[in-house]
Structure 1
Amino acid sequence: MKTMKPHQFKTLCGLALMGLLALFFSCTQESVNSDLNEADNLNLQAAKASQAKKVTKKISGRLVNFPDPNELPEETLICFPQEFQFPLTRNTISGHMTHLGSLQEGISDPVTGERLSGSFGVPISCEINLETFNQLFTVYKVFYVAANGDYFETTEQVTINFPNTFVDEDGVTQIDYTTGNFGGSAGFEHAITIDGGTGRFAGASGHMDFVDATFGPDGSFWELVGEITY
């Protein structure tokens, strides 16, 4: 058995002590991060992301929206042709997405109707299918806002379908415009294009698509899947 010299023993003890200290500080740092609230954690991730090389990652979400009750009537988009007076409202959005966490729900001014903060879907164009009258071809600008205020924005090509009918009191079959489903419009590889953002999402790009997207009197419900680069 080889005898260890005193200076070798001191060196070994020193290395072991350094290892224990490194482990201690690593665990301490992790415990501090776990105590941060969601917004602080997102800010920490944003600071790291600003110094890192952009990477493409999977993204998904489960969301719900409702018509914004504070939108002024004169600001509501009327679908083309306008003589049919078919309105398409601005929507507040809530839910959860990877990379953003729990979304800030949209908040608007009850007097002026101005968007104040949070996640919104804003229609920028709408056209009625004049052959069937049971579809709308729309484009939305959407802002997905994280708990810390960072957001990315999207352009969304959305076809809204009204497949259900009912018979009115005169015995005439009518289209039910209160329920239906929606998805990406034909001619586009992906329904949703990511157009940049703020904070950790500055310069972000990517795409997403709708999954199981439906709407009714209780709101709109859908999932998103895709990729984001930031």
Structure 2
Amino acid sequence: MKGQEWYQADDVAAAYDDKRFSKGGQLIDRREKGAVLDAITPVEGRNVLEIACGTGRFTVMLADRGADVVGLDISAAMLQQGREKARAAGVSDHLEFLRGDAGRLPFPDDHFDTVVAMRFFHLADDPEAFLREMRRVAREQIVFDTFNRFSARSVYNWALPMGSRLYSKSEVAVLLAKTDLTLVDVEDDFLVPYGLYRSIPNALASPIRAVDEAVGSLPVADHFASVSYWNARVR
């Protein structure tokens, strides 16, 4: 995993949500959660693993909607925040947090209905091996996102402290085929990169987002979107 030491630092965990999902970052949070819910339908009763669950944004949301969820992360500080969120939301009975390595998942084959990995694929050292490991523990479905090579993100990607890998959609399609996964759907979004949204107040970010969505609805815009949300089925 790229940036492993950076990601596990206590100060990074403490500032993680505020830095990424406050101000205009609230729009990112809303869209990512919507992408996960669109892919996992119905949520209630499903057995879900979230890899690199961080502070529990998705794990708590899914547990609140009736799923039985395991959140796995390498950062003890991030997991502690997730547990606090789960207690505050009253979903601790449906949610377990474990510390572990995304590359060596401590679960038997076909253990979960759905495996989710948001905000992680770009950090995987070996994307094919990681996708195979996700598939190994999933009975039915895999949901993940990628940052796209031909997008505005490439302008500042080099400056990120944890490193990041950008993908073309054709690369991901090849990876899905190699790992015996069938693409169900892919959604492309955010012509304007995440960094801009996070740096400005929501009142300014909202009209920019409206324009982003309007332009992004044009077919040609899919080639320049910053992020893709992938929903694949196990063959």
Q: TM-score range by the shorter chain?
A: under 0.3
- What is the TM-score with the length of structure 1 in the denominator? 0.22
- What is the TM-score with the length of structure 2 in the denominator? 0.21
User: Which entry has the higher C-alpha Rg, 1 or 2?
Assistant: 1
Higher helix share: 2
Q: Identify which of structures 1 and 2 has the higher relative contact order when contacts are C-alpha pairs closer than 8 Å and 6+ apart.
A: 2
